[in-house]
Amino acid sequence: MRAYERFLNYVKIYTTSDPDSATAPSSARQLDLARQLADEMTAMGIERAHVDEFGIVYGWLSATPGMEDVPALGFIAHMDTAPDLSGKDVRPQIIEHYDGGDVLLAGSGHTLSPDAFPSLKKLAGMTLITTDGTTLLGADDKAGIAEILTAAEQVIASGAPHGRLCFAFTPDEEVGAGVDHFDVAKFGAAAAYTVDGGEEGEIAYETFNACSADVTVTGLSVHPGSSKDTMINAALVAMEFNALLPAADIPRMTEGYEGFFHLCAMQGDVEHAELHYIVRDHARAAFELRKQMLRHAEKTINERYGKPVVSVAIKDSYYNMAEKLADHMELIEHAKNAAKQAGMAPYTEPVRGGTDGCRLSYMGLPTPNLCTGGAAFHGRFEHIAVESMDRCARMLELLMTTERE
């Protein structure tokens, strides 16, 4: 079975995670895919495939004779789709011999255009899979799952020598809880790859450092006709707080290694206001400085009003995996070689985001991230090419069967 065939089966299953849930997994619907994957893995010969109490799917392939001393290697992808847009009732469009031009998303009337997504031109001549414009597609990261299992199936069928291989599919990556309950010791790999990247050839080992910041503003409401030196308008104070942060340090105006403050949500009235930020930077020192800037803005406003009007709660999310992968760069070289052999042009660039591999690397499992071939994740313009998926699956097959020291 080709990777895209598996993928089209997986996207039918509604697996959107729930950012407001405290359960694990955050949405029970993710278990529908988890159980299907465990059954599929068992049927193809992957050993001890099962879903644990937290909704994580695990499975293993024992080393072939003579390969027992090769360090165990893991492959990981996530089952959930992002809550940014509906992942229910996904209806993919398949465009054979894509001409590199505009694609009408028939369910919504939107147009997927190379004017907005220039990388589409590189997919000309391929078979393109898109959404119908009413949902996201789910290539992030059901494409990764499909490619891993397709590669594993080929390894089993070919009888190629390989070391011990470890597989895991996690829930809740999109809400930051993907590896909250991941059992590194049980998984048993010396190193791993997440397959959760973008365009074919991408190999990532540098990510952001990340945190969230929740800003709460407590105002004082009195009649506006007699509020001189008394009223504290929480909504206006929230605007003052945001104005104390660097105006150019926002996602729209940054790229590469440049960090940002991203105001994700705000709400408020005179008596109460809330701001929610995510904060990102590649350099740890710059990341810590950004957190200090938030604290300084809090202090400045509270001094301005003479009492604690603003409260800032900061929670670290993940750190740049480059710090933990510096001593494991052979993983990157192996991936580059496999990508080349699979017909791709490998490249590395800093990821302006994070993956489960960030946290896993800090949990003692070095885990860079590999491409799936997809693009425009989390929205109605998400797309992927069948041939890109084939090449990604081939890259994984080569990694599974390459002798490593």
CA distance 292 to 296: 6
- Would you put residue 105 in left (φ > 0), alpha (ψ -120 to 50) or beta? beta
By residue count, the chain amounts to 405
- Of 173, 196, 281, 382, the catalytic one is 173
Q: Does 173 participate in catalysis according to the annotation?
A: yes
**Which positions ≥6 away from 78 have C-beta within 8 Å?**
141, 144, 169, 170, 171, 172, 173, 174, 178, 196, 356
- Of 18, 40, 80, 202, the catalytic one is 80
In eight-state DSSP terms, residue 344 is -
Q: Does 80 participate in catalysis according to the annotation?
A: yes
CA distance 397 to 405: 18
CB atoms inside a 10 Å sphere around CB 251: 15
Q: Give me the DSSP letters along 169-211.
A: EES-GGGT-TTTT--HHHH--SEEEEE---STTBEE----EEE
Q: Is the dihedral of CA 382, 339, 126, 145 positive or negative?
A: negative
- Would you put residue 40 in left (φ > 0), alpha (ψ -120 to 50) or beta? alpha
Q: Which residues are catalytic?
A: 80, 173
